[in-house]
Amino acid sequence: MRQKLVAGNWKMNGTASALTELGNLAYSCKSAKSEVLICPPSTLIYRASNVCVDSKVEIGAQDCHSATYGAHTGDLSAEMLHDAGATAVILGHSERRADHAETDKLVRAKATTAIAAGLTAIICVGETLVEREAGRTMDVVRAQLEGSLPDDSSGSKVVVAYEPVWAIGTGKVPTVEQIAEVHSGLRASLVKRFGGETAKAIRLLYGGSVKSSNAKEIFAVAEVDGALVGGASLKAADFAPIVSALDASA
């Protein structure tokens, strides 16, 4: 049985005042059965992990460098993030692939470094609208999966998030059939590459405009083990019902 997971990505939002919201979330999630992760901006990781100590909410990062240390001004290593209190890191988010020209090869290198530092790598894949309309969705996500996951991936080291680029922050959500098609295709690719036992332990999250109003139907889709949530993770009142919907689906 894969442990369900709901992860919140705060992106470039939040200063110290947001920690009150995090405290509210930790309180709301005190009986959560699912794993709950919040990835604030790096400036808040240390304080956020202190706020969430002894709570069900874990703290993650939104990116790391592929090197372990060195002359990379402005960057943060996986070890630094782990040291600050992070237990996981989002890698290959479409905004980083677009804004920073991140390739699958780079994402894989980052994942390898993150795992070595003791972080769970949440690796994002997803097609653009142009790719979907050209009927290339499965080719695109399979290629990203193949290129971005390290060879020693396992359920304890890696989580995969399917995030159609056109659904992120737009309010547009794929149909449950479309989500099911991609998730079962991703599972089949994982089985082919890593073998059944390893592949079946790797969690597959859906991400893209998940809200409390659509969470229940998304969580009912086969092979959906939880969600990666952007906008609706910023307020405890929006995020906690998504956690409850995932708990109810377990």
150 binds ligand PEP (CB under 6 A): no
Chain positions 77 to 96 lying near ligand PEP, rule: CB under 6 A, are: none
Shorter beta-carbon distance to ligand PEP: residue 107 or 199: 107
Residue 184 has a CB neighbour count (10 Å cut-off) of: 14
Shorter beta-carbon distance to ligand PEP: residue 169 or 196: 169
Chain positions 170 to 209 lying near ligand PEP, rule: CB under 6 A, are: 207-209
Q: Do 205 and 160 touch, CB atoms closer than 8 A?
A: yes
Q: Do 89 and 79 touch, CB atoms closer than 8 A?
A: no
User: How far apart (Å, rounded) are the C-alpha atoms in residues 233 and 227?
Assistant: 11
168 binds ligand PEP (CB under 6 A): yes
Q: Which of 102, 163, 183, 223 is catalytic?
A: 163
Kind and range of the H or E run holding 46: helix 45-51
Residue 19 has a CB neighbour count (10 Å cut-off) of: 17
To the query of whether residue 146 is one of the catalytic residues in this protein, the response is no
40 binds ligand PEP (CB under 6 A): no
Considering CB under 6 A, how many residues would be counted as binding ligand PEP? Answer: 13
Beta strand 88-91 pairing with 120-125? parallel
100 binds ligand PEP (CB under 6 A): no
- Would residue 126 be called left, alpha or beta, if left means φ above 0 and alpha means ψ between -120 and 50 degrees? left
Least distance from ligand PEP to the Cβ atom of residue 44, Å: 17
| Member of 102, 104, 163, 223 binding ligand PEP (CB under 6 A) | 163
Instruction: Report the b/e string of 118-132 with b at 16+ CB within 10 A.
Output: ebbbbbbbbbbeebb
CA angle 89, 168, 9 (to 5 degrees): 30
In the numeric block, the tokens 């530092």 are attached to 117
160 binds ligand PEP (CB under 6 A): no
To the query of whether residue 100 is one of the catalytic residues in this protein, the response is no
Q: Nearest to ligand PEP by Cβ — which residue? A: 230
Shorter beta-carbon distance to ligand PEP: residue 127 or 163: 163
Among candidate residues 207, 214, 240, the one with its CA nearest the CA of residue 95: 207
User: How far apart (Å, rounded) are the C-alpha atoms in residues 218 and 225?
Assistant: 10
9 binds ligand PEP (CB under 6 A): yes
Least distance from ligand PEP to the Cβ atom of residue 211, Å: 8
Q: Which of 93, 95, 127, 223 is catalytic?
A: 93
229 binds ligand PEP (CB under 6 A): yes
Q: Which stretch binds ligand PEP (CB under 6 A): 50-58, 75-83, 136-144, 228-236?
A: 228-236
| Member of 210, 218, 221, 245 binding ligand PEP (CB under 6 A) | 210
Which are the catalytic amino acids?
A: 93, 163
- Residues interacting with ligand PEP, by CB under 6 A? 9, 163, 168-169, 207-210, 228-232
